[in-house]
Amino acid sequence: MWVEEGTGAGSRMDGGRREDDMGTATVDVTNKNFKDVVEKDGIVLIDWWAPWCGPCRAFGPTYEKIAGKTPDITFAKVNTEEQQELAGAFDIRSIPTLMILRDKVLLFSQPGALPEAALEDLIKQVRALDMEKVRAEIAEQDKKAAANG
Residue 144: pLDDT band (50, 70, 90) is confident
Residues with catalytic annotation?
Answer: 53, 56
Specify the DSSP class assigned to residue 82.
T
Q: Which CATH class is domain 14-148?
A: alpha beta
The pLDDT assigned to 40 comes to: 86
Number of residues assigned to the chain? 149
Is the Cα torsion angle 9, 11, 14, 20 positive or negative in sign? positive
Specify the DSSP class assigned to residue 73.
S
Q: Are 114 and 59 in contact (CB under 8 A)?
A: yes
Q: Are 87 and 96 in contact (CB under 8 A)?
A: no
- Report pTM: 0.81
Is the Cα torsion angle 119, 125, 127, 131 positive or negative in sign? negative
pLDDT tens digits, one per residue of 12-46: 333 343 444 344 479 999 999 999 999 988 999 99
